[in-house]
Structure 1
């Protein structure tokens, strides 16, 4: 467990910090200014609610927005209980923790009007690894009401934490019920973790491609600076620059006038994925530091604004673009894998079979890679193509960014498998050729040979794929663009 301390202030969260809390157990604290921000908003919203209707605080919600509420306490409890009815498998602990730290940061920004004491309670929940049991199905990109209602019921002690723990109760004021749950924190938390993962894999892809290029005796011409200066897309240029850096000092003697697309068009295909991933990281970072509350408490103006900032269309559309780009670059990885089983490219037996054997070698890796790619293709269907009309027609649009985040998480897992298959094949080919890469690619090769089985006789390769998958984060450090 990490001993890193994260000071939450409502404005300094990013995808790496969310990951450090959600996965590594970084300790969170709340700054005094964050508590003051929340306190001022809490005071203003009560002042405003005393003189005019405030959605969810003095009124019902959804189609009941015009229904006046006199008994705040009873209404707030009914709201939490009715909105906690999700379904399906439980969200993973890391996604729940990501949600908790995002919601903590949102409240710290000072626009929700929730009791400021909830900041300390949420920080305590995070630091004690208390996990509210949250079913996966219940949100469609217009607020994670089910997830946060379930969390609120755990906070007030009406439901146990996952595993049966009944401690860490906090008397959340029922009048604050909607203000607490009206958030997109679960979708944003999962999106933040996905951003971190996809960027890591995209960086790892570049050294893996470099090893494959060496194994097929390819050409470095496709990465030459003049080629990319003439069509200067940012991602494309940085991929080519990184590849040139990896190949610096490596003696290449190309065996053909130009290579297949898997090598020759790598910057043009991988670059869009880099650009798409960096774009979604920018969007998610902006969102997790925003007061996307409805109603938004305006402390300076001593008022509230009813709005639709909970709608995460930016996030969903950008994640849809990432998955489409991920499919393209994963397909190119499989194309390179196809060259690594061909004697015309490697000079080895078909499928890199052991010398003197009519063996199958790494034949099965192609099947595994294409099985994973089929899932990426399925998951790449844009979630934004869906829509829903709910609550008697007053909520007439949904972007399904929640589903986009979930699909991205699943696609990342499949992309890891594709890339691991290519890495196993490239390293095995170089070993069988007796090649010893130098420079930065030599460091990547050494890391791989330290964990990948050198035996080339026909055997099960599932252990190799697992080892290669586990190695990808280390390899990513060599692919920083």
Structure 2
């Protein structure tokens, strides 16, 4: 089996696969069954549009839905639609999000509900395989369709805009496709850009939460904390699945070391870790499930019903599920990051580590003092990003489109919150590793020893006062490797 080749079939795409294609050197191919579903939907869309009005094919869009497109104007209508909607603004989103968008739109069309000409599938795959990008600005969507992003993509396919390529953002002509005018709305009627960012965020969230459990176990070992809070009976008595899973993982990580605890009871950062980290785990799993359903869904409006050979006008374009799931994930993320900063505080305290204040090399040294400031600065941003995007509201297109869930903004806030979380978690890892070095203690075995060895192998062993920015960056980069220890 060729792990570098990803076959897109319209039904089995996952968030980790989206991340692989968006970030890695893989080849994308289109499954025959996906092409056939798309071809059947395209034929049905044309048949129905000849028999009765179909939104966007025989009519205008938004408040212009009441305006019929005259047959002699049909060829120009779609092109006008694409040109008018390719109006995003602001800086361009990152290349990985654009690649995720193209991949997800490819998968959605393969699901067979859009009615877009199936000939567009191979050019979209070629764009990914050649490393080309349509220009996609940050501003233009509110969770009810990434119209500006996909209109820009369509204009690249038509040759009206150049694809971007290379790290310098050079422009070039790439794969093209003569997208039919009637297919214009069908092509852009998607949340592929929002879902692309959401899929990447969900993948990163799962990874960072796994890494956080490993880092918390290192901190507990460094402060000689009690393992009692992770006992099976405790979590059988309050049987939340995420809580029980986190406690079981902590027991596994600490299985090789059962020293007498230094205190009868530890602070919340250790004692309540399963109860706080568990909800974060559960919310992350739920968000990933929601996003996975969406990226494999035929969620276009209008929706082509292949079995019934008809068209349904509907609201599947509204990604309220995605936005609300990510809003919940960020709230839970803030809670568990607050415990990380609390554990970091214990790692500066002699009563917990048996070391000088701030793990300092001399009495007047500052040691890791500044790590707390960095971590709390990052935590402040996670708190800010935790504000629910769903609390927004919008009335658009002359009142016809009177609601928005702002899942686009929720996905973007999740990306930013995760970047801050990485920094805070990196600070805790630096502190825990340094404490164990100064104590001369090493975990006895298992994944916890492997984590310790990875950290000590990369982090600077010097204890004198020096800039710790490089240490934080290296610790943050190490987190995916720590997460894989739990695989």
Both structures adopt the same fold (TM-score exceeding 0.5): yes
Asked whether the 8 Å contact 2:224–2:261 carries over to 1, the reply is yes
- Of stretches 246-255 and 38-47 in structure 1, the one that deviates more from structure 2 is 246-255
Runs of 4+ in 1 over 3 A off after TM superposition: none
Partner deviation per Cα, 1:169-212 (whole Å, 9 max, x = no partner): 21111210000000010111110000100000000011101110
Offset of residue 25 of structure 1:
2.8
Asked whether the 8 Å contact 1:224–1:240 carries over to 2, the reply is yes
Match of 1:377 among 360, 376, 383: 383
* In 1: Cα distance, 2:241 partner to 2:432 partner: 28
Partner deviation per Cα, 1:209-249 (whole Å, 9 max, x = no partner): 11100111110000000000111111100000000001102
1:376 partner SS: helix
Asked whether the 8 Å contact 1:235–1:274 carries over to 2, the reply is yes
Match of 1:143 among 124, 135, 145: 145
Q: Specify the alignment match of 1:189 in structure 2.
A: 196
TM-score by length of 1: 0.98
**RMSD after superposition:** 0.9
Q: Specify the alignment match of 1:57 in structure 2.
A: 57
Q: Specify the alignment match of 1:362 in structure 2.
A: 368
Match of 2:127 among 125, 128, 135: 125
Q: Would you say 1:245 and 2:247 are equivalent positions?
A: no
2:163 partner SS: coil
Q: Specify the alignment match of 1:401 in structure 2.
A: 407
Q: Specify the alignment match of 1:83 in structure 2.
A: 85
Mapping of residues 342-361 of structure 1, within 5 Å: 342-354=349-361, 356-361=362-367
1:197 partner SS: helix
Offset of residue 167 of structure 1:
2.4
TM-score by length of 2: 0.97
- Of stretches 228-237 and 471-480 in structure 1, the one that deviates more from structure 2 is 471-480
Partner deviation per Cα, 1:327-380 (whole Å, 9 max, x = no partner): 0000000000000000111111100000x3410000000000000000000000
Offset of residue 439 of structure 1:
1.4
Offset of residue 3 of structure 1:
6.3
Q: Specify the alignment match of 1:430 in structure 2.
A: 436
* In 2: Cα distance, 1:52 partner to 1:411 partner: 47
Q: Specify the alignment match of 2:12 in structure 1.
A: 12
Asked whether the 8 Å contact 1:3–1:27 carries over to 2, the reply is no
Unpaired runs of at least 5, structure 2: 165-169
* In 2: Cα distance, 1:29 partner to 1:65 partner: 36
Unpaired runs of at least 5, structure 1: none
Partner deviation per Cα, 1:436-466 (whole Å, 9 max, x = no partner): 1111211110110000001000000011001
Offset of residue 280 of structure 1:
0.3
* In 2: Cα distance, 1:348 partner to 1:479 partner: 30
* In 2: Cα distance, 1:363 partner to 1:139 partner: 42
* In 1: Cα distance, 2:308 partner to 2:444 partner: 63
Offset of residue 479 of structure 1:
3.5
* In 1: Cα distance, 2:317 partner to 2:262 partner: 56
Partner deviation per Cα, 1:105-151 (whole Å, 9 max, x = no partner): 00001110000100011111111111001101000000100000000
Mapping of residues 19-30 of structure 1, within 5 Å: 19-30=19-30
Partner deviation per Cα, 1:70-127 (whole Å, 9 max, x = no partner): 1221110110000000101101100000000100000001110000100011111111
Q: Specify the alignment match of 1:324 in structure 2.
A: 331
1:393 partner SS: coil
* In 1: Cα distance, 2:33 partner to 2:450 partner: 46
Q: Specify the alignment match of 2:104 in structure 1.
A: 102
1:164 partner SS: strand
Partner deviation per Cα, 1:300-327 (whole Å, 9 max, x = no partner): 1111000010100000000000000000
Partner deviation per Cα, 1:378-425 (whole Å, 9 max, x = no partner): 000000000100000000000000000000000000000010000000
State the aligned residue count. Answer: 478
1:72 partner SS: helix
